């Protein structure tokens, strides 16, 4: 079957497979229902300070698996729900930043710089409309680039990279992530090293206990969900609870939203250049593993600020300029789609949302992200390619919801910004631990999650970013297997990472990235 046949099967799997109910005599697919439900939940979560898309994805994943099971048919509904959360949380994050000057994420801080001054002037609805338009535009642009680039990148990887080159590429990705995330290259390397060390705790490929310290419960390795949710979610909850104790009771902000209506069409000519520029910047940054939306939002805002200053228009950036909202929201939203380029073509996650998508794929099975996903078989169909195009279709469905219903939901969930953290954080903690127990079915996994939560808390207290730890923990198994196979295929060559020009280039770049960033930080 050719590529068009696989595309048709992917689209059919989203729109026609497993109807959940009928509407006007037509069956509505369970995948569409899950995408819509995830999108609404994502907006609510994004509009709630203290929560974020990855937290909702972390809590939802074990529950979804317990509902849909581990069959291949569960992949698209589960992934569709997670994608809906990712898309909805991205656009919903602008709500608390604009209405209450309480950005829930670092990249939303840039939105608050101009959004909140507009809200204080009685232009909250106008600011929310601009944020919605920019976010939806950047997200759609990024998804189009994903569909066009991911298959071609996977084909190039499969054609030109052998085992030594793939091992060197994984090392380059880890070095790049450890170097660019956080305030210190050394701390990034420590975080990455801890992730690799934790992933080594298992029986291993040699079938003897390794780093288990004689504990039988660790012979099968540390559960992937327990480590990831512990470091990313429980660690953040512990740190937020400590900050809440030191800050005292949370003050509830007043809603300054205006009731006036405002049409955006007259403003589009002055907004579109900033939206397009930031979409390109965010997409380029999102395609790099580990960089994330914060850098994209910062660069998009900075470039737009310089361009705006040359025009002499008022108000200036930081004083309620609509262009500041447009540039920031387009940049951080365009990261989400492009970040799946390295996920699907290389199996390398770049941000926390992509981590949970890979975790869902590995937990359910039947889909292994990497170059083989886009391989066309000599005869028959490639089920992974069908799922990939189903995933693309689900992303465009979420974008359609964003364009049609996103703005309406955004204006209705501002009340979520007033939920006190003293109530919110214990609920998140309880739901996360419950979700872990539902997926693993044993108390040991809960204790492991709490232990890694303590590790995540200590990492945050010392300024160490947990994301290199998580990505290294996910890639460790693939890195070990690839390095072992490359070592055997090259006849036990100890210089296998320098055995070909491409492998030599990747390895040299990994060393260069680390030392260059060390030099730059100094």
Q: What is the pLDDT of residues 360-393, one digit of tens each?
A: 888 888 888 888 888 878 777 888 888 989 999 9
What value does the mean pLDDT take over residues 103-121? 77
The tens digit of pLDDT for each residue in 397-433 reads 999 998 888 877 776 765 665 667 777 788 888 888 8
Between 374 and 182, the higher pLDDT residue? 374
Between 82 and 374, the higher pLDDT residue? 82
At 345 the pLDDT is 81
What value does the mean pLDDT take over residues 215-241? 84
- Three-state secondary structure call for residue 82: helix
Burial class (CB in 10 A: 0-12, 13-18, 19+), 478: middle
At 83 the pLDDT is 92
Any idea what the Cα angle at residue 148 is, between residues 143 and 149, rounded to 5°? Answer: 95
At 259 the pLDDT is 45
Q: Token pair 């447009």 is at which residue? A: 326
What Rg value do the Cα atoms of the chain yield, rounded?
A: 23
Burial class (CB in 10 A: 0-12, 13-18, 19+), 480: middle
Between 456 and 232, the higher pLDDT residue? 456
At 172 the pLDDT is 84
Q: Is the pLDDT of residue 446 over 60?
A: yes
Q: What percent of the chain has pLDDT over 90?
A: 10
Q: Is the pLDDT of residue 292 over 70?
A: no
Q: Can you say whether residue 161 is alpha, beta or left, with left for phi > 0 and alpha for psi between -120 and 50 degrees? A: beta
What value does the mean pLDDT take over residues 494-516? 87
For residues 232 and 456, give the distance between their C-alpha atoms in angstroms, rounded to a whole number: 7
For residues 295 and 332, give the distance between their C-alpha atoms in angstroms, rounded to a whole number: 8
Residue 178: closest CA among 464, 501, 476, 385: 464
Q: What average pLDDT does the chain have?
A: 81
- Three-state secondary structure call for residue 306: helix
Q: Is the pLDDT of residue 40 over 80?
A: yes
The domain segmentation of the chain, as residue ranges, is: 3-521
CB 460 within 8 A of CB 236: yes
Between 49 and 281, the higher pLDDT residue? 281
For residues 219 and 210, give the distance between their C-alpha atoms in angstroms, rounded to a whole number: 8
Q: Is the pLDDT of residue 23 over 80?
A: no
Within its chain, how far is the Cα of 186 from the centroid?
24
CB 185 within 8 A of CB 179: yes
The tens digit of pLDDT for each residue in 316-369 reads 877 888 888 888 888 888 887 888 888 888 777 767 778 888 888 888 888 888
CB 94 within 8 A of CB 407: no
Between 155 and 167, the higher pLDDT residue? 167
At 264 the pLDDT is 67
At 394 the pLDDT is 92
Q: Token pair 């710089």 is at which residue? A: 113
For residues 486 and 482, give the distance between their C-alpha atoms in angstroms, rounded to a whole number: 6
Q: Is the pLDDT of residue 314 over 70?
A: yes
At 104 the pLDDT is 59
At 32 the pLDDT is 92
Residue 172: closest CA among 374, 345, 355, 348: 348
pTM: 0.80
Residue 320: closest CA among 92, 120, 91, 93: 120
Residue 136: closest CA among 10, 39, 261: 39
Q: Is the pLDDT of residue 461 over 50?
A: yes
What value does the mean pLDDT take over residues 160-179? 82
At 260 the pLDDT is 45
The DSSP 8-state label assigned to residue 202 in this structure reads B
What value does the mean pLDDT take over residues 437-444? 82
Q: What percent of the chain has pLDDT over 70?
A: 89
**How many other C-beta atoms can be found within 10 angstroms of the C-beta atom of residue 485?**
15
Angle between helix axes 30-46 and 75-92 (nearest 10 degrees) is 30
The DSSP 8-state label assigned to residue 406 in this structure reads I
Non-local (6+) Cβ contacts of 306 within 8 A are none
Number of helical H runs and strand E runs in the chain = 22, 2
Q: How confident is the model at residue 33 (pLDDT cuts 50, 70, 90)?
A: very high
Q: Is the pLDDT of residue 35 over 90?
A: yes
For residues 455 and 472, give the distance between their C-alpha atoms in angstroms, rounded to a whole number: 15
At 522 the pLDDT is 47
* 72 to 31, 59, 69, 225, 312: CA distances (angstroms): 13, 21, 9, 19, 57
At 256 the pLDDT is 45
Between 399 and 213, the higher pLDDT residue? 399
CB 292 within 8 A of CB 90: no
Q: What share of the chain is helix, strand, coil (3-state, %, to 5)?
A: 75, 0, 25
């Amino acid at each position: 079957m050719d590529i068009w046949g696989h595309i048709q099967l992917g689209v059919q799997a989203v729109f026609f497979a497993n109807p959940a109910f009928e509407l006007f005599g037509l069956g509505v697919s369970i995948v569409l229902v899950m995408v819509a439900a995830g999108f609404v939940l994502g907006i609510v979560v994004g509009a709630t300070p203290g929560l974020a898309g990855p937290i909702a994805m972390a809590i939802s994943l074990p529950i979804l698996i317990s509902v849909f099971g581990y069959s291949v048919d569960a992949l698209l509904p589960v992934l569709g729900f997670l994608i809906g959360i990712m898309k909805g949380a991205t656009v919903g994050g602008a709500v608390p930043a604009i209405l209450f000057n309480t950005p829930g994420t670092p990249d939303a801080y840039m939105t608050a710089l101009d959004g909140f001054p507009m809200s204080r002037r009685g232009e909250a609805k106008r600011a929310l409309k601009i944020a919605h338009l920019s976010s939806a535009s950047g997200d759609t642009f990024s998804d189009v680039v994903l569909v066009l680039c991911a298959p071609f990148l996977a084909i190039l990887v499969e054609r030109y990279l052998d085992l030594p080159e793939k091992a060197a590429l994984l090392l380059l990705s880890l070095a790049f992530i450890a170097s660019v995330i956080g305030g210190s290259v050394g701390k990034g390397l420590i975080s990455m090293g801890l992730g690799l060390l934790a992933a080594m705790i298992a029986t291993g490929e040699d079938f003897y206990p390794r780093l288990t310290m004689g504990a039988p419960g660790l012979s099968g390795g540390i559960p992937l969900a327990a480590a990831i949710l512990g470091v990313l979610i429980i660690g953040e909850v512990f740190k937020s609870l400590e900050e809440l104790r030191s800050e005292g009771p949370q003050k509830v902000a007043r809603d300054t939203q205006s009731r006036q209506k405002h049409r955006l069409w007259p403003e589009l000519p002055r907004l579109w250049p900033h939206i397009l520029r930031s979409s390109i910047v965010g997409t380029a940054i999102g395609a790099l593993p580990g960089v994330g939306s914060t850098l994209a939002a910062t660069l998009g805002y900075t470039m737009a600020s310089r361009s705006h200053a040359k025009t002499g228009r008022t108000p200036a950036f930081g004083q309620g300029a609509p262009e500041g909202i447009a540039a920031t929201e387009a940049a951080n939203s365009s990261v989400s789609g492009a970040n799946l380029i390295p996920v699907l073509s290389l199996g390398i996650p770049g941000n926390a949302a992509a981590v949970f998508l890979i975790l869902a794929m590995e937990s359910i099975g039947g889909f292994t992200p990497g170059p083989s996903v886009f391989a066309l078989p000599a005869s028959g169909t490639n089920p992974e390619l069908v799922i990939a195009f189903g995933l693309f279709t689900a992303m465009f469905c979420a974008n359609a919801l964003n364009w049609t219903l996103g703005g309406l939901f955004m204006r209705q969930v501002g009340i979520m910004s007033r939920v006190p953290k003293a109530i919110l954080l214990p609920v998140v903690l309880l739901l996360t631990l419950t979700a872990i127990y539902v997926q693993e079915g044993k108390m040991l996994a809960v204790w492991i999650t709490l232990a890694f939560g303590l590790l995540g808390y200590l990492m945050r207290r010392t300024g160490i970013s947990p994301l290199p730890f998580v990505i290294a923990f996910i890639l460790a198994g693939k890195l070990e297997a690839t390095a072992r196979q490359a070592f055997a295929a090259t006849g036990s060559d100890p210089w296998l990472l320098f055995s070909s020009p491409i492998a030599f280039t990747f390895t040299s770049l990994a060393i260069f990235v680390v030392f260059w960033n060390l030099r730059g930080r100094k």
